Structure 1
Amino acid sequence: MLSMRLRLSDLQEPKWRPQGGRWINGESWIEPANVSALVMEVNDDQAPRVRVRVKECKRDEADFVALTMEPGQARLAAGVFGTAPLYLTEKSGELHATWDLTLLRPHMRAERLVPRVVARTLTRQHRYTSETLFEGVYRLTERAAATFTLAGLSIHYPDPAEHVLEPRTPRPGVDPLAALDELLTDVIREAPTATGCVGVELSGGADSGNVALAVKASRFPEVYSFGLLVGGSTGQQQRERRRTLVEHCGFRDTATPAMQHPPFCPGGVRALRKPHDPAGAFYQEAFDVVRGQAAARRCEVMFTGSGGDEVNAARRPEGRPGNRAPSH
């Protein structure tokens, strides 16, 4: 994770030095959450150029955020997974970036919202794009790049992927389930933890269930599972699925009824008017309780399932035979 303030005037000559957990150059600074994860390379053979790479995992091919600075320009590029968010805004020759959206409050105005993002938030039809609720504040999505110059801030998406109706035929001898299991297990085993105490956010859905099974296979010394329980018949089915997974994996489980902590409940972030991402989660208050439970059990890493419904949902153009829908 990364936060920074960059002034274009400071990029004319790189004189970066470590100070108090940050790298400082004039009035510019870069602060990684883990200083040891930051690699800074300075190349001044021809023109001053600095490249900063912040890795999110241990493997060489793992996720990263790369920052390249040269006179008059800074470029940020995200890795293939988008593990940690990065929010950006610019004003008067300064670029402000942080993984915590609330830290950009001085650069936001409540009356300057993006109408289509507001509509998507209110109808719970979120889109994974560079847009946020606030005008002039952008999200750096996976495999995207942001370029900051005197002309302002521009976002460049990767090439669009094509969604097709017919599934691809695996190569002879390839087992897709075994490949998924191997991929999940390899990534999970790279999680940085000193004590081996980890948590699993177990909703009872397919994506978090797959992750939970991979966590079990990784043999961490201590594993706790956490989950929000919904009501009605859906909640009963959820309870049964969670119970089966918890018993099979041997997790120490804590379940929290979501409606005991509804939006605007007393003591919650919204009722107390604490800074938070208003588009972050419908169950913000309930998830805050879950995070507190994980912290109380000293979980160093929290594994979650994310986006399973969105990944598998067919879009409208895909519902018509012969059509393909490009998507980022």
Structure 2
Amino acid sequence: MLKLRLTPYTDTTWRWSDGRYVTHDHRSEITPYRHPMVEHLAMTDGQRTLLVVRERAADRPRCEPTVRRASAREYDHARELAEQWPADYVVAETTPDEPVRVTAGTCRTTPLYLAHDADALNGSWDMADLRSHVGSINVREATRLLLYRPRYGSDTLFTGVHRLTERACAHFGGHLFLRYPSPALHTGPRELAPDADVLRAFVQALDDALDVRPLDPDRTLFHLTGLHCTTPSLV
């Protein structure tokens, strides 16, 4: 949903200009992907700045992209609400004389890849944008893919490029530190009741996921993955 370059320990006075957020010294910028389903907002209390790029949610008014001024209390409240958004989001935070932070939401509908040089943290939803930071093939990750045993984590196929997974937070102040979230709770499968309507439950689960977003049925197409189909042999 975005491209970013964040330079810590520099000017954190942000403004919205020509489709992107940029600091006055032009050493940091965030460019959201232009799409009717993506919105962005920013807030500052004079020291800290919060920048959010996220999927739009149904029944929520569209946010204005301009950087709004708020009190420290209002800022803290907005930061707390940002992580309660029901759809995908990315939150970036900058504060003078502190490392920058980037946090991914719980609904990772788009990837976010990160790389850094000596001065700045770079990120994009398209790994090709970070090709200048690629070192070599990540042998361990390549082996996992060849064995069909991939792992969902920060490793990518290339050294020098990292993946920010859901609920994870990246800290950069010259060195990149990726903080994983607490483990998510999981439950085992339950016994299926004799009169269970499996198809109805499946359709309801899809409806719940789709109703979160303000979709236009006449202009929206979904590809449902994860199903295995077999075709009878004609021989």
Once the two structures are TM-superposed, the CA of residue 160 in structure 1 deviates from its matched residue by: 2.3
Change (3 A) 1:191 1:159: same
Once the two structures are TM-superposed, the CA of residue 195 in structure 1 deviates from its matched residue by: 6.8
Total equivalences in the alignment:
199
Matched ranges for 1:244-259 at <5 A: none
Q: Is the 8 A contact 2:7 2:100 kept in 1?
A: no
Which amino acid is the alignment partner of residue 114 of structure 2?
Answer: L
Deviations 1:192-225 (A, max 9, x none): 445722223256826xxxxxxxxxxxxxxxxxxx
Residue among 41, 44, 56 paired with 2:43: 41
Which amino acid is the alignment partner of residue 16 of structure 1?
Answer: W
Q: Is the 8 A contact 1:5 1:96 kept in 2?
A: yes
Residue among 92, 99, 105 paired with 2:125: 99
CA distance in 2, matches of 1:197, 1:43: 40
Once the two structures are TM-superposed, the CA of residue 185 in structure 1 deviates from its matched residue by: 0.5
Aligned to 2:2: 2
Flag structure 2 segments of 5+ consecutive residues without an equivalent: 59-84
Please provide the CA RMSD for this pair: 3.0
Matched ranges for 1:204-283 at <5 A: 205=227, 236-237=231-232
Change (3 A) 1:37 1:131: same
Say whether residues 1:134 and 2:158 are aligned partners: yes
Q: More relative contact order in 1 or in 2 (CA 8 Å, sep 6+)?
A: 2
Q: Secondary structure at the match of 1:8?
A: coil
Aligned to 2:13: 15
Change (3 A) 1:74 1:178: farther
The structure that has the greater radius of gyration is 1
Once the two structures are TM-superposed, the CA of residue 61 in structure 1 deviates from its matched residue by: 2.4
CA distance in 2, matches of 1:158, 1:177: 33
Residue among 169, 176, 192 paired with 1:153: 176
Q: Secondary structure at the match of 2:90?
A: strand
Once the two structures are TM-superposed, the CA of residue 32 in structure 1 deviates from its matched residue by: 0.6
Which amino acid is the alignment partner of residue 33 of structure 2?
Answer: A
CA distance in 2, matches of 1:139, 1:236: 36
Change (3 A) 1:139 1:188: same
Q: Secondary structure at the match of 2:129?
A: helix
Q: Is the 8 A contact 2:86 2:212 kept in 1?
A: no
Matched ranges for 1:62-141 at <5 A: 62-71=87-96, 72-109=98-135, 112-141=136-165
Q: Secondary structure at the match of 2:231?
A: helix
Q: Is the 8 A contact 1:74 1:149 kept in 2?
A: yes
Deviations 1:80-124 (A, max 9, x none): 121111000111120000000000011113xx2221101012223
Q: Is the 8 A contact 1:56 1:83 kept in 2?
A: no
Which amino acid is the alignment partner of residue 20 of structure 1?
Answer: D
Which amino acid is the alignment partner of residue 56 of structure 2?
Answer: C
Aligned to 1:30: 30
Q: Secondary structure at the match of 1:119?
A: helix
Once the two structures are TM-superposed, the CA of residue 19 in structure 1 deviates from its matched residue by: 2.0
Change (3 A) 1:190 1:161: closer
- Give percent identity, aligned residues only: 34
Flag structure 1 segments of 5+ consecutive residues without an equivalent: 207-233, 239-328
Q: Is the 8 A contact 2:87 2:213 kept in 1?
A: no
TM-score (ref. length: structure 1): 0.54
Q: Is the 8 A contact 1:41 1:52 kept in 2?
A: yes
Aligned to 2:86: 61
Aligned to 1:215: none
Once the two structures are TM-superposed, the CA of residue 66 in structure 1 deviates from its matched residue by: 1.1
